[in-house]
Structure 1
Amino acid sequence: MTLHADALHVLTSWQAPDPQQDRLRHDFLRHLDEYADGTWRECVPGHITASTLVLDATGVQVLLTLHSKIKVWLQLGGHCEPDDVTLAEAALREATEESGIPGLVLRPEPVQLDRHAVRCHPEGSWHLDVQYVAYAPENARHAISDESDDLRWFPAERLPDLTDDAVRRLVSRAVA
């Protein structure tokens, strides 16, 4: 199976939690139907990305990264790479690389979708982000990667001010 085929499978079978998420799901599926390279960064109009909200072992704290380019607190994640066979693998790889935490346990199904404008290309582009949740092992120690200015645990009910609404919705769905 290719990453493109897995993305089609995941998005076709995923039960969206509300009508807005279902519209996004259909938009993501249309994108994949139109673009054979729709999972790769090189796809200029937009591309599928995979991210993960990391929860502590108790599920009450979230690990967020202060993104070095846009200077807001976000979940971990990013572009799919040629070795990624599934979106879940891409999400877990990104979370592990960016957190430095081995042994993360990923929930098998996405929690939500998010589309946001990015500057991956000079003319602009979209990230079509498939968002997962993972649990860190008890007493996990994190390490800041080159992609972050900072990396911290926050109580799920007290997120930092520099967090956008998409992250707040993701946290709310993850801990529900």
Structure 2
Amino acid sequence: MIDLLRNHVPADATEEDHRENTLGFVSRTANCASRETLEGHVTASAWILSPDLNAVLLTHHKKLGRWLQLGGHVENDVSIQAAALREAREESGISKMDLLDETLFDIDVHLIPERKGTPAHYHYDFRFLIQAGDRDFTVGTESNDLAWLDVTKPLESLADDSIVRMQVKTETALKRAGKLS
């Protein structure tokens, strides 16, 4: 995880702050992915693009009531990338998904509010660029809804700044991964 963070080039000053905070947390915290770590923990997310790379799959999260990328907690995964893929498959029902790049696509730190006896804590969210094999999803128990949204149309009206940041970064990341010329 430390190498992913050190090699990541943030898109802006906000993401650089997230990268630095996450690097500090991961460096000083032995069980940085454990839900038992009270300060917070590392999570894994997927910026899922459609097979034709023209749309992004977002979830309307039940607990948070917002449109977000799919993702969640690291479990017994062999890597943070594997955790992002597992979460993406579990939350979308789409079995065929591939990482477009092993490197970190985005990093974000956000506060998760207190809920049902679990104190407020931070998610140090590692985000990866993923391509779905098809558009046929299943809305899971953690979502109110899932939707494919045009990756070129503004998402500001329904999404937070970190979603908009990933949307802006998509074209450059696809070029770097050799998916666009």
TM-score range, shorter chain: 0.7 to 0.9
Q: Secondary structure at the match of 2:165?
A: helix
Provide runs of 4+ in structure 1 moved above 4 Å: none
1:44 to partner: Cα distance: 0.9
- Output aligned runs, 1:95-174, within 5 Å: 95-106=88-99, 107-119=101-113, 122-137=118-133, 139-156=134-151, 157-159=153-155, 161-174=157-170
Q: Is residue 2:57 matched to residue 1:63?
A: yes
Runs of 5+ unmatched residues, structure 2: 173-181
Percent identical across equivalent pairs?
33
TM-score, normalised via structure 1 length: 0.87
Q: Deviations over 1:10-56 (max 9, x none)?
A: 22333334444333222212111221011111111111111001111
Corresponding residue pairs, total? 168
Could you tell me how far apart the structure 1 residues matched to 2:131 and 2:50 are? 6
**Kept after mapping to 2: 8 A contact 1:52/1:75:** yes
Could you tell me how far apart the structure 1 residues matched to 2:50 and 2:118 are? 38
TM-score, normalised via structure 2 length: 0.85
Which moves more between the two structures, 46-55 or 155-164? 155-164
**Kept after mapping to 2: 8 A contact 1:59/1:175:** no
